[in-house]
Amino acid sequence: MSAIVTIETEGLAGPPPRRGFPGVTLLRSTHGLQRGMLLGGLAVITLFVAVAVLAPLLAPYGFNADRAGGVIFGTQQAPGAAHLFGTTVGGQDVLSRVLFGARTALTVIVLAVAISLVVGVPLGLVSGYFGGVLDRILVLITDALYAFPSLLLAIVVSIMISGGRSTPFGGILAAAISITVVYVPQYFRVVRNLTVSVKNEPFVESARITGARPGRIMFRHVLPNVSQTLPVLATLNASEAILTLAGLGFLGFGIEPSAAAEWGYDLNKALADATNGIWWTGVYPGVAIVLVVAGVTLVGESLNDVLNPMLRTRGGGTSTADEDEIAIAGDLDPAAGELGSGSDATPTTEDDR
């Protein structure tokens, strides 16, 4: 939740404040099952954040503890009264690791999304607005990066950060930066492409005719009209970030198991258990990943559907060109055209993770 809030406020921090609380208007503009998906997603995210924040209070044991009060838990214990979710092959409490894993995931997502935004958005804005050689080079590089499986990229960067050797600095920040490298190009590209289309809008041209300087145009005219798509992109990327983090952990390039609890790493360890029919070591962290990613994705998809005017419906059914005529006749829905030129704003919805 906090991730989304920070992003929303960041995007909206520009000059004109939206009238009314954005969340409420957003919710109003949904209906029926659509609203159900949005609310369901929000509920999951709230739960996730709550667990992440309260993990030390909720978890019965430490995430790396294999004994409590001198009593060793024992390995691969089936779920029972002492260990609700059982214990792992390393003898740790599965429940505690799942709860602490939420904390790790949240930290990494917030860091990754924040860094990606801070780096990607200004870069895209400047590159898109000025164009020229710099723009061409940056686009070339991001295109090249797109050609790699993003997980592979994250692995390479994580190795790079740890200097090619195994060091204790395999921590949360390293994981976050590895993921950032994957998403900076995405923000860059979306913001750049939008900037390129917005900068030719008449309202930007009119500012140029007036003689406004580039800085003013970029931040007063272009940025506010580009930033509307960022919440969608950030939410969708947040869910991808969790998956990338888990993938890194699963392959053994993530956070050191002693530094923090991480679901992907646990799943790797659980793989051998699965063959032997031991289900609890893998299922719980796996379900945690699915829940959180699904929750975040649901919110992102709903946002996308609601904010993308191309896909808007009123009460279901298809609509025709007559809607314009009707809209003017009834003076309904003044916000319908708000995204305006941003109709191609969300091409990366389906991008690789």
Partner 1 sequence: MTVPTPPMLSLDRLSVTFQTDGDPVRAVREVSFEVAPGEIVAIVGESGSGKSVSSRALLGLLPGTATVQGSARLDGTELTGLRGEPMRRIRGNRIAMIFQEPATSLDPVRTVGWQVVEALRSHRSLSRRAARARAVELLDLVGIPDSARRAHSYPHQLSGGQKQRVMIAIAIACEPEVIIADEPTTALDVTVQAAILELLRDLRDRLGTAIVLITHNMGVVADLADRVVVMYRGQVVEQGTAAQIFAAPAHPYTQRLLAAVPHLGQGRSHVDAQAPVPGSGTSTPALAVRDLVVEFPGRLGSPRVRAVDGVSLTIEPGRVLGLVGESGSGKTTVGRAVVGLVPAAAGTIEVFGTDLRTTSPATLRALRRRFGFVFQDPAASLNPRASVGACISEPLSVHAVGDDASRHRRVAELLEAVELPAAYATRYPHELSGGQRQRVSLARALVLAPDLLIADEPTSALDVSVQATVLALFQRLQAEMGFACLFISHDLAVIDLVADEVAVMSEGKLVEIGSTAEVLRAPAHPYTRALVAAVPVPDPAEQRERRRAAGNLA
Partner 2 sequence: MLILVTVVFFFMRVIGDPITASQGGRLSAVQLAQRRAAAGFDRPIFTQYSEYLAGLLHGDFGTALTDHRAIREVLVTNGAATLELSVWALLVAFLVGVPLGRLAARYRDRLPDVSIRTFAVLVYAAPVFFVGLLLKLLFSATLGWLPASGRASAGVEVALTNVNPKTNIMVVDAILYGDTSYVLDVLRHAILPALALGLLTAGVFIRLIRINLIETMRTDYVTAARARGVPERLVVRKHAFRNALVPVVTVMGMQIALLLGGAILTETTFEWQGLGYVLSRYLLARDFVAVQGLVTAIAVVVALASFLIDVINALVDPRVRF
Q: Which residues bind partner 2 (CB under 8 A)?
A: 32-34, 36-37, 140-141, 144-152, 155-156, 159-160, 163-165, 239, 243, 246-247, 250-253, 264, 267-268, 270-271, 274-277, 279, 282-283, 286, 289-294, 297-298, 301, 310-311, 313, 316, 318-321, 349-353
Smallest separation (angstroms) from partner 2 to the CB of 145 = 8
Task: Find the binding residues for partner 1 in span 287-346 (CB under 8 A).
Answer: 314-326, 328-330, 332-335, 337-338, 340-341
Choosing from 173, 207, 251, 294, the residue that interacts with partner 1 (CB under 8 A) is: 207
Tally DSSP H helices, then E strands, for the chain: 14, 2
Residue 198 CB, shortest distance to partner 1, in Å, is 10
Q: What is the spatial distance between Cα 310 and Cα 167, in angstroms, rounded to a whole number?
A: 50
SS3 68: strand
Contacts 24+ apart (CB under 8 A), 214-217: 214/129, 214/130, 217/129
Residue 350 near partner 1 by CB under 8 A: no
Nearer to partner 2, 77 or 348 (CB): 348
Q: CA 274 → CA 89, 146, 268, 283, 290, distances in Å?
A: 11, 34, 10, 9, 18
Tokens of 197: 């289309």
Which of 34, 224 has the CB closer to partner 2? 34
71 binds partner 1 (CB under 8 A): no
CB of 165 to partner 1, least distance (A): 48
Q: Among 131, 220, 291, 294, which residue sits at the site for partner 1 (rule: CB under 8 A)? A: 220
Residue in 203, 274, 343, 352 binding partner 1, rule: CB under 8 A: 203
Q: Which is nearer to partner 2, 38 or 217 (CB)?
A: 38
Angle between helices 2-12 and 230-251 (to 10 degrees): 140
- Residue with structure tokens 């003076």? 331
Q: Interface with partner 1 includes 202 (CB under 8 A)?
A: yes
Any idea which residue has 């590895």 for tokens? 178
Q: Cβ of residue 336: shortest distance to partner 1, in angstroms? A: 8
Q: Say if CB 55 and CB 103 are below 8 A apart.
A: yes
From partner 1, partner 2, none, interface partner of 209 (C-beta below 5 to 8 A by class): partner 1
Residue 140 CB, nearest approach to partner 1 (Å) = 17
Q: Which two tokens stand for residue 191?
A: 């913001």
Partner from partner 2, partner 1, none contacting 145, C-beta within 5 to 8 A by type:
partner 2
Cβ atoms 92, 66 nearer than 8 A: yes
Q: Indicate whether 201 belongs to the interface with partner 1 (CB under 8 A).
A: yes
Give how far Cα 231 sits from Cα of 11, 75, 347, Å. 8, 43, 14
Q: Which does 133 bind (CB under 5 to 8 A by kind): partner 1, partner 2, none?
A: none
Q: Are 223 and 133 in contact (CB under 8 A)?
A: no
Side-chain-side CA neighbours of 241 within 13 Å: the count stands at 32
- Comparing CB distances to partner 1, the nearer of 84 and 207 is 207
Cβ proximity of 100 and 61 under 8 Å: no
Among 221, 257, 284, 288, binds partner 1 (CB under 8 A): 221
C-alpha closest to that of 64 among 261, 297, 263: 261
Task: Work out whether 32 is an interface residue with partner 1 (CB under 8 A).
Answer: no
276 binds, among partner 2, partner 1, none (CB under 5 to 8 A by kind): partner 2
Choose among 130, 320, 134, 339: nearest CA to 232.
339
Report, in Å, the least distance between residue 5 CB and partner 2: 22
Residues recorded for the chain: 353
Q: Which two tokens stand for residue 283?
A: 């299922």
CA 343-349-351 angle, 5° bins: 130
22 belongs to the binding site for partner 1 (CB under 8 A): no
Based on the shown chain and the rule CB under 8 A, indicate whether residue 209 belongs to the binding site for partner 1.
yes
Binding site for partner 1 (CB under 8 A): 14-16, 29, 31, 201-213, 216, 220-221, 224-225, 314-326, 328-330, 332-335, 337-338, 340-341
